[in-house]
Structure 1
Amino acid sequence: MSINTVRALLEDAAATHGDKVAVKLNEKSISYSELLTRVNQVAFYLTELNLPSGARVGIYSDKCIEQVVAILAVLSTDTILVPLTKMLVAEQVEYIINDCDIQCVITDKLKLENIEDVNFKGHVISYEKTEQNIPCFEEIYKYYNKPFQCEVNSHDNAVITYSFGLTGTPKGIVISHRNLTDSAAVVCRYLGLQEDDVISGLLIFNLDYGLNQIFCSLFKKATLALHRFILPTDFFNHLIDDNVTVLALMPVHISQIFDEDLSPIPNAELFDKLRIITSSGGNLSAKMIKYSKRTFPQANFYSMHGLTEAFRSTYLDPAQIQIRPDSIGKAIPDVELYVVNEQGKECAPREVGELIHRGGYIYRGYWNAPEESKERFKSVQILKDVINLEGQLNDEIVVATGDYVYKDEEGYLYFVSRHDDMIKTRGFRVSPFEIESVVEKNLPQISQCAVFGIDNEQIEEEIVLVYSAPGELSEKEIEFELKKHLASYMIPSRIVYKRSLPLMQSDKHSVNKEALKRELTAD
């Protein structure tokens, strides 16, 4: 087995810190030694299923210690992990299952019904005992005690995470075992994580930012304290009761945490153990930073910018967060970043261009999507007018991010926009096409619709749906139909009826979304 795998991190932690608490959730906890034992039992059971090498295994459940066991068990075998966020509805789960041919799903009682709704034909494993006589972790822990030998290699594919692409359908990004350990190592380095840290497991484990909290905990032999965010009061109690020292957030969480209508903010002295806060997955506002610094004065605040196609590109030094709060910072260690214009030349300070990511942490590409991969994963030759490529290997891959940014005179980067019209809301990327397609298929009363985002400081962008129809429909009727097909974060917060929609001059079949956006924001 390669040393550059998450499995190797787990074995090392169990060998040197076996009695230490590895993962906890409220009053429940598990040591590193117990964690390895349970992971081995589930991994051994997975090998007993005789799945082909590289088979995809989905994990579709609420957050719990068993979910962490399941993630590490899959990463201990030659199968590939496909995290499925609990926010997805059955229709979206079915799409991902079919897209990457998932052959086994690990789930809990609450999500088992959705798996049954999609008529999944593969193996199903539940954390708890069920009336359907499905194999469960309780039985596996009881009966599977044989030795388990892990044989994974660092260059093997480890994870496929799904996000929404230009076509509106989820696209899987392929991540290797080496990618996972490298990303843990670099985060531990630039954040200065320590063995005695308690890392909050607030984020869901569907994308690399959330998964990285698990792997950083293993890398430093720290403790991961899981938390299911419901109300700000619960969150503040989590920080205090679990003695959290490292907290990873998205801007949407910060908005929810400091919603004074929901909960009073406790005294800052209660959070004196919290020393690091990270934020990624959206733009921070000055108000978010102000509240965070006031409530957590001892904590260094790291604003970060990540990619779908690579683990991370930038972070902003905490000393700069109040000096240049709008900046996404500079390149993380082992990464080179360039801002390039349409002619392939490096942009001057304040000139907007596309961000090109070169160096470490680049992922494998999109699953079964060669055209989409070609759009983002480019030869280093696209930088031929920016850097000296003499003697360089022509097959080196860089990422053309699709993010448009500029640098200031000191080299700090600032995000401007996406190349496409993706909506970024509550930490998620949402394709307007996905919502428009659901409307077209399921609401035949609607003649035309347009979906787009409008700036909202609390959640970055709110989703707006504008439609035309012979007569106005009930908003509740539209929302009811959308909720049957879309995750909760994809439901528009504003639904607007118009007798007709403005069309593009160049294409009378396309709605002029910019005209609609100007009209609505002028109100």
Structure 2
Amino acid sequence: MLLTMPHQPDPALRPLDHLAELAGAAGRGDRPALVLREGTLNHNQLRQRVARLAGWLAEMVPDKGARVASWAAKGEVTCLLPLAAARAGLVHVPINPLLKRAQAAHILADSGAMLLIGTGSRLASLEPGDLPAGCAALGEAEALAAAEAAGREMGPSAADPAELAAILYTSGSTGRPKGVMLSHANMWLGAVSVAHYLGLAEDDVTLAVLPLSFDYGQNQLLSTWYAGGCVVPLDFLFPKDVAKACAKHGVTTLAAVPPLWVQLTEIDWPEEARAPLRRLTNSGGALTVDLVRSLRGLFPEARLFPMYGLTEAFRSTYLDPALVDSHPTSMGKSIPFAEVLVINDAGDIAADDEEGELVHCGPLVAQGYWQDPERTAERFKPAPAASAYGGMAVWSGDRVRRAAESLLYFAGRRDAMIKSAGNRISPQEIEEAALASGLAAEAVALGVAHPRLGQAVHLVVRGAADEAARAELPKRLQRDLPNFMQPQHIHWRETMPLNPNGKIDRTALQAELNQEFAQ
């Protein structure tokens, strides 16, 4: 199927759970679909397991549109729930397994989850009041055993593709994580689009190393299954584990974020791990020129796909692998089903080489933020008059420019979001944790350029200067925040710089740290 842009949604558009039916319906049902520790499921078995899990979910949570959360490492539950929940008429809320209790409790409360399925250790960390009223909690094995015992298989849904299918929580520049609402159509068309431009096929094997709570990570499953291929989920401890898995499973498709790519280029790759690789995909931060060269040298036969995206619109652009060597810093052009416009400060289409805001239009645009009309109105606005799609668009806040051959280049962001190791981090979350400790009177979290992480988290605090406090604050943050939010440096100050309005001068602090830690 050839997809072009602008392009209206495929008339064969179906609910998300129909992805599980595609391979078997096309006569590929005996091909492997999902490699788990317990064994491998072929596409026929995948269809059956989705149908059985959906049937049990519909009995456990009979209210259509209710939220079902998962908080676990990669396993059968986390892989099947995106399709099974959709089939049962429910809304899946995946929680990043790296998050700690406080963040998970916020997501559960904010989404109003009625069921949580997770690993025992994570469920045991919850405290009284963390589960919303009426929310049940079950371990992964318990849930799968109950679904198997119930034996009820639920057929493909007839849901309207515009219905809500998932809420993915993502950090913003301020406040707690916000839930991005994705419809069946958003996720279905995302799978179709990626499978198309990556050229995925039924003999492809995707190593899923990214968290399944991210849109980029979840699409590893959906686009591969749309193409009839196989997914190998991997929770790795060391970069060498990735190379070993590639060799063991004959991996053809590997997706990562820049900090992981850096680590992967620093290890030895045996020929049996490199040879099967057909494509490498990157998002969650830009690749440096040096990193592009390292990847091209290490994997000369693999096609490299640099990509840009945001959860509110899934993905906007990709760079054709044929242009990577000649335009290594470009974001590329729009993906199928996406319309990407560059709007200048006057509200018009920017001229070539004129900087403007990236505005994403079309059917990949999410439905807004869950129960947050104020923040939805800030980011989701009517599409510019020049849009071929119209309707609502995502105004990204990212500054870009369109250069020769209509290729896009990233210029910067307007907000204070920290992007570290592929994670979007809210400074306010870190600041709130520091203040809640009672050890800091004021706190400012900032991102400082880092060669491996993209940005490292720095925390500037004013508070008790005694050694006990300085030793205790990192411990408190380690307890209350996930690892990827931990400050690499905590800077203690007797006073904070103030701007003319009497507020902490974040710009001055940023400039000071940038100079001190200049690479």
Q: TM-score, normalised by structure 2?
A: 0.91
Match of 1:399 among 394, 397, 406: 394
Residue of 193, 214, 218 corresponding to 2:221: 214
2:374 is matched with 371
Q: Which residue of 2 aligns with 1:237?
A: 244
- How many angstroms apart in 1 are the aligned matches of 2:409 and 2:503? 35
Q: From 414, 419, 422, give the equivalent of 2:414.
A: 419
Answer whether contact 2:20 2:225 (CA < 8 A) is retained. yes
Give the aligned partner of residue 165 of structure 1.
Answer: 172
Q: Identify if the C-alpha distance between structure 1 residues 29 and 95 changes in structure 2 by more than 3 Å, giving closer, same or farther.
A: same
Confirm whether residue 63 of structure 1 aligns to residue 57 of structure 2: no
What residue in structure 2 maps to residue 285 of structure 1? Answer: 288
Pairing partner for 1:410 from 405, 411, 421 = 405
Deviation for aligned residue 1:228 = 1.2
Work out the CA distance in 2 between the residues paired with 1:199 and 1:50. 32
- Kindly state the Cα deviation for residue 60 of structure 1 after the two structures are TM-superposed: 0.6
Deviation at 1:472, TM superposition (A): 4.3
- C-alpha change, 1:53 and 1:496, in structure 2 (3 Å) is same
> Hey, what's the Cα distance between the residues in 2 that align with 1:30 and 1:333?
30
1:323 aligns with 2:326: yes
> In structure 1, what is the equivalent of residue 138 of structure 2?
125
1:350-392 per-position Cα deviation (integer Å, ceiling 9, x unaligned): 3221111122311111111111111121112xx34xx3x7xx8
Query: CA offsets per residue over residues 167-216 of structure 1, 9 Å max, x none?
Result: 32111010011111111111111111111111111111102111111111
1:420-442 residue CA offsets vs partner (Å, 9 max, x unmatched) = 11100111111111111111121
User: Which residue number in structure 2 is paired with residue 133 of structure 1?
Assistant: none
Percent identity of equivalent pairs: 31
Displacement of 1:470 after TM fit?
A: 4.2
- Cα 1:6–1:427 shift into 2, 3 Å: same
2:462 pairs with 1:468: yes
- Please tell me the residue identity of whatever aligns with 1:8: H
- Classify the secondary structure of the residue corresponding to 1:224: strand
SS in 1 for 2:480: coil
SS at match of 1:339: strand
Aligned to 1:513: 509
Partner in structure 2 of residue 49 of structure 1: 60
Q: Which moved more, 1:415-424 or 1:147-156?
A: 147-156
Residue number in structure 2 paired with 1:226: 233
Where in structure 2 are there 5+ consecutive unaligned residues? 1-11
Distance 1:148 1:482 in 2: 44
1:145 partner letter: G
Structure 1 pair 441/21, CA: closer, same or farther in 2 (3 Å)?
same
CA offsets, 1:100-152, max 9 Å, x none?
101101112232213456542512222225xxxxxx312431x2223423433
CA distance in 2, matches of 1:194, 1:440: 51
Aligned to 2:493: 498
Contact 1:502–1:516 at 8 Å: present in 2 too?
no
Aligned AA for 2:443? C
* 4+ residue segments displaced more than 6 Å: none
Output the amino acid matched with 1:4.
R
For 1:410, what is the secondary structure of its paired residue?
helix
Q: 198, 222, 230: which one pairs with 2:205?
A: 198
Instruction: Give the SS at the match of 1:102.
Output: coil
Q: Secondary structure at the match of 1:447?
A: strand
Match of 1:12 in 2: 22
Q: Which amino acid aligns with 1:230?
A: L
Corresponding residue for residue 311 of structure 2: 308
Contact 1:24–1:226 (Cα < 8 Å) also in 2: yes
My pick for the range that moved more, 502-511 or 457-466, is: 502-511
State the Cα distance separating 1:409 from its structure 2 match: 2.8
- The 1:37/1:470 distance shift into structure 2, 3 A limit, reads closer
- Matching residue's letter, 1:414: Y
Whether the 8 Å CA contact 1:163–1:171 is kept in 2: the answer is: yes
What CA distance in whole angstroms lies between the structure 2 residues aligned with 1:193 and 1:337? Answer: 24
* Total equivalences in the alignment: 502
TM-score normalized by structure 1? 0.91
Secondary structure of the corresponding residue to residue 505 of structure 1: coil
Of residues 41, 48, 52 in structure 2, which corresponds to 1:37? 48
Q: Give distance in 1, aligned partners of 2:160 and 2:339.
A: 27
Aligned to 1:149: 155
Question: Which of residues 181, 185, 196 is equivalent to 2:192?
Answer: 185
On the 8 A contact 2:497/2:504 being kept in 1, the answer is no
RMSD, aligned α-carbons: 2.1
Amino acid at match of 1:38: R
Question: Is this contact kept in 2: 1:267–1:295, CA < 8 A?
Answer: no
> What is the CA deviation profile of residues 429-480 of structure 1, one whole-angstrom value per residue up to 9, with x for unaligned ones?
11111111111121x2323222101111211100101222342445542111
Q: CA deviation at 1:508?
A: 4.3
Cα deviation, 1:311-345, whole Å, max 9, x if unaligned, reads 21110111221212111111112322222221112
Contact 2:251–2:276, Cα closer than 8 Å, also in 1: yes
Aligned pair 1:138/2:145, yes or no? yes
The Cα shift of 1:67 comes to 2.2
Aligned to 2:406, the other structure's residue is in SS state: coil
- Tell me, in whole angstroms, the C-alpha distance in 2 between the residues paired with 1:333 and 1:448: 46
Which range is displaced more, 505-514 or 333-342? 505-514
Distance 1:425 1:522, change over 3 A: closer
Q: Tell me whether 1:455 sits opposite 2:465 in the alignment.
A: no
Query: What 5-or-longer segments of structure 1 have no aligned partner?
Result: 130-135
Aligned-pair CA distance for 1:303: 0.2
Structure 2 residue aligned with 1:97: 108
Is the contact made by 1:472 and 1:497 (CA closer than 8 Å) also made in structure 2? no
Name the SS of the counterpart of 1:128 in structure 2.
Answer: helix
